[in-house]
C-alpha cells in the first residue's frame, strides 16, 4: 500500500497536466473560422488509429511445407520427457509373477509355492460353490453390467414391468414373478445389511474406491476429520479429496485421540456448528493392529463426533461369527455411523460396500463419485459375495481354523532373530518389523526385500515386504506382511516360520 499511493498520485498529476495543456487557450486551432480544442485533435487521431488497425488484414505467415529432410531433423532433435522417474539400483528387485489363482498354494514364476502374500482370510479362493454361483451368474447376466447403477447397471431391474404384470394377472404365480425379478445387486446389498445387522448397504465396483468415495461424499471443505496416522493409502486419498481440515493422532493411541478432540472442541463454539468425523481402520493394513472401538465410541459420544470405520481386513474375520469389529467388542453396530469394507480379502471376490442407516446409504446414491460415475459391480462378483457370506454363516468353523493358524504363527515366530511381531494376536495380518532399524526407511526396506526374495527362491514360500509410494503419507515402520488364511495347513505355518528364522538370521 505504501508504494501504490505515491504512484497513483503521480499518475493523476500527470494526467491533470496533460489535460490542462490541451485545454489551454493556446492549444486551440482555428480551421475555417471554427475554434477546435486540442483534446478534440487527440481524440480524432485516436479514432483514426483505431480504424486503421481494424482495417488491416491479419498477418498470415507463408505456408511452406517442410521437406522430408527437415521433418527428419526435427524428429531427431526431439527429446521426450521420461514417463516415470528412473528406478534406483536399490529398488531393482525382480518382481515375482503370479501364474494361478492366489490361494493358499499358488504358482509363481513356474513353481508351486506356499502363499502368504495374498489376503484370502477364509480360504474361499477356489471354493466350488462360489465358482458355481459365478458360472450361473455369467450364463444368466453376462460378464458385465455396462453402466452405472443409476442408469442401467442394476441388473434385473428392467424386469419390473414383467413382475407387475405377472403379479396382477396371475397372483398364484407370485413366487415365479419374484424369482424372475431377482436383482443380484439389490440382493447382495440386502444380504450384507442383514448379516451385519444394519438398515441398508450399498455396493461399489472396486474395493479401494469405496473408502475414498465415501469420505468425500460426507466430508466437505470446512469440516474437521480426526484420523489415525497409520491409515493406508486409500483412506489418505479420501481424506485429501474431501478438502476437509484433517488432524492426525498417534497410531492407535487413544490418549492422543482424546487430547486432540479436547483441543478441537473445548471452548470453541465454531467447532460445534460444523461436521466432525473420526476416521479409523478396524485392522490397520500398515501395522496389523486392532482399533479399540469401545474407547473410540466413548470418545465419539463425549465430544459429539461421527465415526467412519474401514473394515476391509476385519469383515468376515473378527467377532464370534465374523461380523467385524463391532461384534468383537460387543458394541451395537448402530453406534458406528458409517462402515466400509472391501470384499476381496475375506469373500474371495472384488468390489466393496458401505453400510449403515438408510439415510447414510441413500445419500451416496446421488453424492458418491465411485457409485454414480462407475460401472456397477459385475453380477457374477455380487453372486460370489452372497455365496461367500452364506458359506461363512453355514460353516462357522472356518473362523476357528483361521484363529488357530494365526495363534500358531505367532507362537512359531515369537523368537525370530532380528525381527519382531508388531501386530495383534487376533489379526490375520502378521506384521514383522526390524528389532533394530537402520534409521533409513529405504535401507530397512532393502533388507526386508532381500529376506522375502531369499525365502521365495530357497524355500518356495511367497511373502512380501510393505512397499509404499512417495504419495503415501504413512510414516509407520516398514515390515514384512504375512496374510494368514484358514486354508493354510499346519505344515504351511511351520514351513514359513522355519524359512523366515533361517533367512533372517543370515541377513539381519
Of 361, 394, 427, which residue sits at a domain end? 394
Domain presence at residue 83: no
Domain presence at residue 303: yes
CATH code: domain of residue 439: 3.90.1150.10
Tell me, yes or no, whether 389 and 407 share the same domain. Answer: no
380 by Cβ neighbours in 10 Å (0-12 / 13-18 / 19+) ranks as buried
The CA-based diameter of the chain, rounded to the nearest angstrom, is: 118
- Rounded percentage of the chain residues whose pLDDT exceeds 90: 66
**What's the pLDDT at 118?**
94
Tell me, yes or no, whether 353 and 322 share the same domain. Answer: yes
Domain presence at residue 232: yes
**What's the pLDDT at 179?**
38
Instruction: Please tell me the least confidently modeled range out of 16-30, 107-121, 149-163.
Output: 16-30
Which residues, including other chains, have CB under 8 Å from residue 11's CB and lie 6 or more apart?
none
Domain presence at residue 385: yes
Tell me, yes or no, whether 41 and 150 share the same domain. Answer: no
Of 44, 78, 112, which residue sits at a domain end? 78
Q: Quick one: residue 382, left, alpha or beta (phi over 0 = left, psi -120 to 50 = alpha)? A: alpha
The DSSP 8-state label assigned to residue 465 in this structure reads: E
Is residue 387 within 8 A of residue 133, CB to CB? The reply is: yes
**What's the pLDDT at 191?**
96
In this predicted structure, the answer to whether residue 60 has a pLDDT above a threshold of 50 is yes
Could you tell me whether strands 306-310 and 338-342 are parallel, antiparallel, or unpaired per DSSP bridges? Answer: parallel
Tell me, yes or no, whether 427 and 317 share the same domain. Answer: no
CATH code: domain of residue 261: 3.40.640.10
**What's the pLDDT at 14?**
62
Could you tell me whether strands 224-228 and 276-281 are parallel, antiparallel, or unpaired per DSSP bridges? Answer: parallel
Is residue 290 within 8 A of residue 427, CB to CB? The reply is: yes
**What's the pLDDT at 33?**
58
Tell me, yes or no, whether 383 and 459 share the same domain. Answer: no
Joined grid coordinates for residue 107: 504358482
Tell me, yes or no, whether 100 and 203 share the same domain. Answer: no
Instruction: Please tell me the least confidently modeled range out of 10-14, 70-74, 459-463.
Output: 10-14
User: What is the tens place of the pLDDT at every residue in 181-229?
Assistant: 448 999 999 999 999 999 999 999 999 999 999 999 999 999 999 999 9
Tell me, yes or no, whether 116 and 144 share the same domain. Answer: no
User: What is the tens place of the pLDDT at every residue in 77-107?
Assistant: 998 888 877 766 555 556 788 888 999 999 9
- Select the highest-mean-pLDDT range: 20-24, 267-271, 407-411, 471-475: 407-411
pTM for the model stands at: 0.78
Tell me, yes or no, whether 309 and 291 share the same domain. Answer: yes
Tell me, yes or no, whether 68 and 114 share the same domain. Answer: no
* Structural domains in the chain (count): 3
Q: Residue 451 sits in which domain range?
A: 96-124+397-507
Tell me, yes or no, whether 375 and 453 share the same domain. Answer: no
Q: How many helices (H) and strands (E) does the chain have?
A: 18, 16
Domain presence at residue 13: no
Tell me, yes or no, whether 105 and 176 share the same domain. Answer: no
Domain presence at residue 16: no
Domain presence at residue 52: yes
Instruction: Find the helix or strand (DSSP H, E) in which 203 lies.
Output: strand 200-204
| Residues found in the chain | 508
Tell me, yes or no, whether 401 and 492 share the same domain. Answer: yes
Instruction: Find the helix or strand (DSSP H, E) in which 299 lies.
Output: helix 293-303
Domain presence at residue 86: no
Amino acid at each position: 500500500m505504501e508504494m501504490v499511493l505515491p504512484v497513483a498520485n503521480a499518475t493523476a498529476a500527470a494526467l491533470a497536466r496533460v489535460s490542462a495543456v490541451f485545454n489551454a487557450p493556446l492549444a486551440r486551432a482555428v480551421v475555417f473560422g471554427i475554434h477546435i480544442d486540442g483534446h478534440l485533435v487527440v481524440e480524432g487521431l485516436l479514432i483514426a488509429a483505431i480504424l486503421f488497425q481494424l482495417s488491416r488484414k491479419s498477418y498470415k505467415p507463408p505456408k511452406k511445407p517442410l521437406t522430408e529432410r527437415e521433418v527428419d531433423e526435427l524428429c531427431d532433435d526431439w527429446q521426450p520427457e521420461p514417463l516415470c522417474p528412473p528406478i534406483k539400483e536399490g529398488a531393482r528387485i525382480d518382481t515375482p509373477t503370479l501364474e494361478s489363482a492366489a490361494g493358499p498354494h499358488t504358482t509363481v514364476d513356474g513353481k508351486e509355492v506356499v502363499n502368504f502374500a495374498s489376503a484370502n482370510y477364509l480360504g474361499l479362493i477356489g471354493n466350488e460353490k462360489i465358482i458355481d454361483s459365478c458360472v450361473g451368474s455369467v450364463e444368466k447376466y453376462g460378464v458385465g453390467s455396462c453402466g452405472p447403477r443409476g442408469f442401467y447397471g442394476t441388473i434385473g431391474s428392467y424386469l419390473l414391468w414383467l413382475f407387475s404384470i405377472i403379479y396382477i394377472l396371475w397372483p398364484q404365480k407370485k413366487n415365479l414373478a419374484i424369482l424372475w425379478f431377482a436383482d443380484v445387486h439389490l440382493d447382495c446389498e440386502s444380504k450384507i445389511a442383514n448379516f451385519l445387522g444394519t438398515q441398508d448397504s450399498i455396493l461399489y465396483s472396486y474395493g479401494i474406491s469405496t473408502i475414498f468415495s465415501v469420505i468425500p461424499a460426507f466430508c466437505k471443505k470446512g469440516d474437521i476429520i480426526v484420523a489415525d496416522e497409520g491409515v493406508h493409502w486409500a483412506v489418505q486419498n479420501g481424506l485429501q479429496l474431501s478438502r476437509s481440515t484433517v488432524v492426525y493422532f498417534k497410531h492407535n493411541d487413544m490418549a492422543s485421540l482424546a487430547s486432540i478432540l479436547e483441543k478441537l472442541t473445548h471452548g470453541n463454539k465454531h467447532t460445534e456448528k460444523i461436521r466432525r468425523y473420526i476416521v479409523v481402520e478396524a485392522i490397520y493394513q500398515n501395522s496389523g493392529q486392532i482399533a479399540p472401538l469401545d474407547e473410540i465410541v466413548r470418545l465419539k459420544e463425549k465430544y459429539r463426533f461421527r465415526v467412519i470405520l474401514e473394515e476391509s481386513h476385519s469383515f468376515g474375520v473378527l467377532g464370534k461369527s465374523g461380523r467385524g469389529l463391532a461384534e468383537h467388542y460387543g458394541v451395537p453396530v448402530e453406534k458406528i455411523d458409517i462402515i466400509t469394507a472391501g470384499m476381496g480379502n475375506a469373500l474371495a471376490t472384488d468390489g466393496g460396500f458401505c453400510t449403515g442407516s438408510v439415510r447414510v446409504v441413500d445419500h451416496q446414491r446421488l453424492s458418491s463419485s465411485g457409485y454414480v460415475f462407475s460401472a456397477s459391480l459385475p453380477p457374477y462378483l455380487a453372486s460370489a459375495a452372497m455365496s461367500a457370506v452364506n458359506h461363512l454363516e453355514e460353516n462357522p468353523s472356518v473362523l476357528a481354523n483361521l484363529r488357530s493358524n494365526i495363534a500358531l504363527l505367532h507362537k512359531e515366530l515369537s523368537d525370530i532373530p532380528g525381527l519382531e511381531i508388531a501386530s495383534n494376536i487376533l489379526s490375520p495380518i502378521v506384521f514383522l518389523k526390524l528389532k533394530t532399524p537402520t534409521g533409513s526407511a529405504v535401507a530397512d526396506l532393502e533388507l526386508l526385500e532381500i529376506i522375502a526374495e531369499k525365502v521365495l527362491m530357497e524355500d518356495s514360500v511367497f511373502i512380501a515386504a510393505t512397499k509404499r509410494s512417495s504419495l503415501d503419507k504413512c510414516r509407520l515402520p516398514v515390515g514384512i506382511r504375512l496374510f494368514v488364511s484358514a486354508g493354510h495347513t499346519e505344515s504351511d505355518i511351520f514351513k514359513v516360520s522355519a524359512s523366515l528364522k533361517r533367512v533372517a538370521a543370515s541377513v539381519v
